A and B are shown apart, each in its own frame.
Chain A
Amino acid sequence: DAGVTQSPTHLIKTRGQQVTLRCSPKSGHDTVSWYQQALGQGPQFIFQYYEEEERQRGNFPDRFSGHQFPNYSSELNVNALLLGDSALYLCASSPEFGARTDTQYFGPGTRLTVL
């Protein structure tokens, strides 16, 4: 049973560019969340997708957007990249939207470096 997968593993961009990161949830999971983890810090919640709609959003600007596809996979898009967007981007999936006791399963992350 494949866990959460993310691509690419690493990415280098320059300021002002746009980037798309991809995530496939664990089999049987329909809810996908994205987190940003800056170096030496804990992950920060960006947003969560369920039934192809953004359901919750953390404190991130509109430059951060996403999409969920009918097969539950998801993309994170970041426009107009800033140096401060350099981070590890983590995708997490869970089997039941809104279940407060639910465990989130994390992928290995995409390391984004903005030069």
Chain B
Amino acid sequence: GNSVTQMEGPVTLSEEAFLTINCTYTATGYPSLFWYVQYPGEGLQLLLKATKADDKGSNKGFEATYRKETTSFHLEKGSVQVSDSAVYFCALPYYNAGNMLTFGGGTRLMVKP
């Protein structure tokens, strides 16, 4: 099956700093790629997704570009806020048939005022 590796945390930033969380994947073909976010005490919410190579997903100031050459889908935000503090998960389909997901280990982001 497909797999994903993301940078380990925690990542601690000051408010308005630039954020990058690295994600690389191993897959056959070109599956959709996802970033999910988990706020404290809550389930997972879709943050953004890209369905084909070179697509850029974006939401709430976060962006990620599907790079097939480097098999990467790095998450970026130009200016983080305290409210962005959460755990971020990169994910892709477990198999190329179906939409069950395999997740990275998660990266905890802490933003300080």
Q: Which residues of A are in contact with B by a Cβ distance under 8 Å?
A: 4, 31, 33, 35, 40-45, 48, 55-56, 58, 90, 92, 94, 97-109
Contact = CB atoms under 8 A, between A and B. Distances in A.
Given A42-B89, A109-B43, A100 B96 contact: yes
Given A41-B105, A42-B106, A103-B49, A48 B98 contact: yes
With most chain B CB atoms within 10 A of its CB, the pick from A35, A58, A101 is A101
B69 interface: no
* For the complex of A and B, 9 pairs with smallest distance between CB atoms: A42-B103, A106-B44, A106-B43, A102-B99, A108-B43, A101-B51, A101-B32, A45-B100, A42-B105
A31 B101 CA distance: 13
A107 B105 contact: no
Interface of B: 31-32, 34, 36, 42-46, 49, 51, 89, 91, 93-106
B93 to A, nearest CB: 6
15 contacts: A41-B105, A41-B106, A42-B104, A45-B94, A56-B94, A56-B95, A58-B94, A58-B100, A92-B44, A100-B32, A101-B99, A103-B49, A106-B43, A107-B43, A108-B43
A94 B42 CA distance: 19
User: Which secondary structure dominates chain B's binding surface?
Assistant: loop
Nearest to B6: A42
Nearest to A90: B43
Nearest to A46: B100
Contacts of A4: 43
A105 B44 CA distance: 8
A55 to B, nearest CB: 7
